[in-house]
Amino acid sequence: MPLPLEGIRVVEIAQNLAGPYAAEILGHMGADVVKVERPEGGDDARGWGPPFWRGISPAYLAMNANKRGITVDLKDPQDVAWLADYAARADVLIQNLRPGVVEALGLGAEALRARNPRLVYCSLRAFGIAGPMRLRPGYEPMVQAFSGLMMMNGDEGGPPTRIGTSILDFGTGMWAVIGTLAALAQRQRTGRGCVVDTSLLETGLAWLTGHFASYRVSGEVPQRHRTGSNRVVPFQGFETRTGPLVVAAGNDRLFTKLAQVLGRPEWADDPRFQTNAARFTHKDVLLPEIEAILLTGSKGEWIDRLEAAGIPCAPIHTMPEVLAHEQTRATGMVQPVPGAPDLELMGLPILFDGERPALRRAPPALGEHDGEIRGAAPA
């Protein structure tokens, strides 16, 4: 299957998660991605374990498939000069080094785009390009905390909780890709690339857009709702006799059906529960009653009854459960890694003409393609 970005050359001068994830997405879509690492140890994420696979952390493996890898000593002027020449011939450069580092090395947007105006230069930062914190580095938990995102997560009345995946790194990588693709489309019209900037903080603020709108409308600080919603009731997880499930009765019609399934049809006519606004006001009464009823049966029994009534619901899966489910297998998201029969990774969550791009390359070993790339004549 021809891939959409075949023929696009990407240079990645990045490490950890956000920048490598952006470059990996482009690689999944067919771009030739060359990952640049320092000779001593490479990307810090290589060591983010245990566990390890052949001495490499899962954090590195998950972000670096479909790439070639080279080493460049950024303390060596000759190496830096070579990298500047190589990067200036690319279509896209992705970098997330500490603010100011690439500029000091002569690898900043202004320097490289002066040599190649068609270059799309994408930077991923912690706090953005302006403001008093623009030069500060930052990691996921710091920015989850700073952005206010962490304060939205956890039990009502309990402590703020980190979201269980690196949502700001992955989200920032996705924004970087969206911006890069838009810039490449613009280049088709104008012949010129541009500078794309995004950051973990801006991603965190974007993920708060619904909470922000509520706060601006009401003036009330949003509260935490565990698995629930700050707008819709019931729309959350509940315990059953054999484990938790989510019930998402997202409108009054569905709540009427839910009341019938739970054996409490009178709830539909109870003024405390007739509308979503009323249910939200009286959720401290309603939600414990729903859970008390659900605890009388098994998760599977309730899911069968809820689905038969057309009420959206889902089991709260563990990792082994979701991977074993036939729906997960049917998506084809879990893919074998070429040359590594004992390793599987997640693929790209996009289909092109009904087909998901396959993993074409395993994550590169440190300096694996030095001879192939650095020994080659300029393209």
Residues annotated catalytic, as ranges: 169
Phi and psi for 306 in degrees, rounded to 5?
Answer: -65, -45
For residue 13, the 8-state DSSP code is E
Q: Which long-range contacts (CB under 8 A, 24 or more apart) does 285-291 make?
A: 286/233, 286/234, 287/228, 287/233, 287/234, 287/236, 287/238, 289/264, 290/234, 290/238, 290/247, 290/258, 290/262, 291/238, 291/239
Three-state secondary structure call for residue 340:
strand
Cβ-contact 129, 122 below 8 angstroms: no
Q: Which residue has the tokens 């997960």?
A: 328
Element (H, E) at 36: strand 32-37
Q: Which residue has the tokens 């304060």?
A: 151
Element (H, E) at 87: helix 77-88
| Number of residues assigned to the chain | 379
